[in-house]
Amino acid sequence: MTNSHDLVVIGAGPGGYVAAIRAAQLGLNVGVIEKESRLGGTCLRIGCIPSKALLESSELFHETKHSFAGHGIVAKEVALDLKAMLARKDGVVDQLTKGIAGLLKKNKITRYEGLGRFTGPGAVEVVAADGKVTALTAKNVLIATGSTSATLKGIELDGDKVGTSTEALSWPAVPGHLVVIGAGAIGLELGSVWCRLGAKVTVLEYLDRILPANDAEIAKDAQKVLAKQGLTFKLGVKVTGARATKDGAVVEIEGQQPITCDRVLVSVGRKPHTEGLGLDKVGITLDPKGRIPVDAHFRTAAAGVFAIGDVIPGPMLAHKAEEEGVACVEHIVTGYGHVNYDAIPNVVYTHPEVAGVGKTEEELVAAGIPYRKGAFPFLANGRAKALGQTDGKVKILAHKETDRILGVHILGPRAGDLIAEAVAAMEFGASAEDLARTCHAHPTLAEVVKEAALAVDGRALHI
Ligand code: NAI
């Protein structure tokens, strides 16, 4: 039996399932192939969503122990039920994956469970877990197979003590000493979770700074705040090996004594997932970083084959993949479809959060672009004071001559929500003056954004 579709999407992560929904809205007959029984990809099953559930729970635990007294709340005998915390996280994931199955159904999208691979131009087959093969034909195929955790030479992942984010989302007990390799988003988020739950956490980073993709000043501020929370940072450290031992694990470092610990989280980046797709059957070759080359409309070297998300160049972010998926199918159907790569926010969900959009200060300096800078601290904001969360600041970078906003960087409470205003402003080509003249409700954290915009012109009001 052959099943024919206008579009077959391989991979039901945020990039793939969103593209499928948009394509169905535009009238295409769509099929989605996913190898996992639960839809939603890495983000939903073993990434963004479960980590945010644990970040929320662990922060509440930490606040109950450390912040409640300051609010005049006496909480005695606060105890951790890790099993219940992990079960709650699994429940959140479960609800959301079922929600996606419902969305596919509502949009009359055919779902195929199994591994998708090309057999030739316009021909794809689905290999189910029981070996059953279903042949599909498609006018268009969209590759949205995402990424998997990268590792380093010398690291022996054992799926338990020396693990990636997948294992670190489900460890059954709080490690006495956790060593995190890599100070990117994953290392800091999951390092924070286990630190709040009581682990001693040591973060090893090869570079001389944390969060290499973020604005350096904000990253430095974030490091100070996280260090106060108990994370120990060792920067400029090259990890050469890690393995499980009888009692725990050991991490080897170039030129230094090895560190013995209870568990290791390897968070040194992710790599595109293209194995087993049969790309050779349609003449697609990967770039040196293992990514699928595409043009501005996500077209690969093969006619009728497109790719989006983590398998193509750019930041490996769920929302970037979603935007690309929508733009890709809109272009297929309407001839129009665009992603503005200058306005893609990134958020690190530590406490406080780190968020940014546009150019960092280092990028502006390197490119020789003249800019003015305005910054405003949460310490001078009424709502932040009332919340008891005054660490951090908003920093706005605007072009020196035109005042157009070029970058916004935030360390602070709810930075991930606050950055949306900056992204919208940049999408509209706003100047710092536009933001400064926009009425912001009082008392809100968003007033810090307004004050930073005023500060670009040297006229912040509350400092
Ligand atoms: P990352 O690429 O953000 O950071 C990895 C870090 O490991 C870098 O700072 C790198 O210098 C360091 N490193 C590499 N080799 C090392 C060595 N031998 N010794 C010590 N340090 C070493 O990778 P991460 O955190 O694993 O995240 C993977 C991807 O997933 C990223 O693209 C990230 O943006 C995305 N992600 C995004 C999240 C968010 O938006 N909140 C959350 C989680 C992941």
Q: Residues 49-74: pLDDT tens digits?
A: 999 999 999 999 999 999 999 999 99
In a domain? residue 199: yes
Q: How confident is the model at residue 41 (pLDDT cuts 50, 70, 90)?
A: very high
- Strands, DSSP E only, in 185-325? 200-205, 231-235, 239-244, 249-253, 259-261, 263-266, 270-272, 305-307
- Cα separation of 17 and 107, whole Å? 11
Nearest atom (ligand 1) to Cα of 187:
25
Mean pLDDT value of segment 159-173: 97
**Which is catalytic among the residues 177, 297, 319, 442?**
442
**Same domain, yes or no, for 277 and 145?**
yes
The residue out of 250, 268, 286 marking a domain boundary is: 268
pLDDT one-digit tens code per residue, 141-154: 999 999 999 999 99
Residue 108 φ then ψ, to 5°: 55, 40
**Same domain, yes or no, for 262 and 277?**
no
Nearest atom (ligand 1) to Cα of 349:
41
- Cα separation of 33 and 77, whole Å? 49
* Residue 184, ligand 1, Cβ within 6 A: yes
**Same domain, yes or no, for 9 and 121?**
yes
* Average pLDDT over the chain, rounded to an integer: 97
Distance set, CA 365 to CA 15, 69, 173, 256, 268 (Å): 33, 45, 46, 35, 27
Q: In the prediction, which pLDDT does 410 show? A: 99
* CATH, residue 395: 3.30.390.30
- CA nearest to 7, candidates 313, 315, 308: 308
Mean pLDDT value of segment 112-131: 97
What length is written for the chain? 463
Q: In the prediction, which pLDDT does 212 show? A: 97
% residues pLDDT > 90 (the chain): 100
**Same domain, yes or no, for 258 and 174?**
yes
Question: How many Å lie between the centroid of ligand 1 and the Cα of residue 199?
Answer: 21
**Same domain, yes or no, for 22 and 67?**
yes
In a domain? residue 155: no
442 in catalytic set: yes
Nearest atom (ligand 1) to Cα of 210:
9
Residue 289 lies in domain: 2-149+272-339
**Same domain, yes or no, for 350 and 426?**
yes
**Same domain, yes or no, for 41 and 133?**
yes
Contact 197, 65 (CB under 8 A): no
- Cα separation of 115 and 118, whole Å? 10
Q: How confident is the model at residue 2 (pLDDT cuts 50, 70, 90)?
A: low
* CATH, residue 182: 3.50.50.60
Q: In the prediction, which pLDDT does 220 show? A: 98
For residue 154, count other CB atoms closer than 10 A to its CB: 12
Residue 203 φ then ψ, to 5°: -105, 120
The residue out of 287, 322, 339 marking a domain boundary is: 339
Question: How many Å lie between the centroid of ligand 1 and the Cα of residue 188?
Answer: 9
The residue out of 212, 237, 268 marking a domain boundary is: 268
- In this structure, the dihedral spanned by the alpha carbons of residues 95, 96, 102 and 103, taken in order and rounded to 10 degrees, is 160
**Same domain, yes or no, for 7 and 128?**
yes
* Residue 268, ligand 1, Cβ within 6 A: yes
In a domain? residue 391: yes
> Ligand 1, from 44, 268, 346: best to mutate by most atoms within 8 Å of Cβ?
268
Residue 418 φ then ψ, to 5°: -65, -30
* Residue 384, ligand 1, Cβ within 6 A: no
Q: In the prediction, which pLDDT does 323 show? A: 98
**Same domain, yes or no, for 137 and 277?**
yes
**Element at 62 (helix H, strand E):** helix 48-66
pLDDT at 346 over 60: yes
* Residue 206, ligand 1, Cβ within 6 A: yes
Domain count, the chain: 3
Report the half-sphere exposure of 21 (CA within 13 A, side-chain side).
17
Output the residue whose Cα is nearest ligand 1's atom 24.
269
CA-based diameter of the chain, in Å? Answer: 71
**Same domain, yes or no, for 257 and 134?**
no
Mean pLDDT value of segment 266-292: 98
- Cα separation of 245 and 177, whole Å? 14
Nearest atom (ligand 1) to Cα of 212:
9
Report the half-sphere exposure of 20 (CA within 13 A, side-chain side).
33
- Cα separation of 48 and 15, whole Å? 14
pLDDT one-digit tens code per residue, 181-227: 999 999 999 999 999 999 999 999 999 999 999 999 999 999 999 99
Q: Which amino acid would we find at residue 362?
A: E
**How is residue 442 annotated by DSSP?**
T
**Same domain, yes or no, for 301 and 407?**
no
Output the residue whose Cα is nearest ligand 1's atom 15.
268
Q: In the prediction, which pLDDT does 258 show? A: 98
Distance set, CA 421 to CA 343, 361, 387, 409 (Å): 11, 19, 21, 12
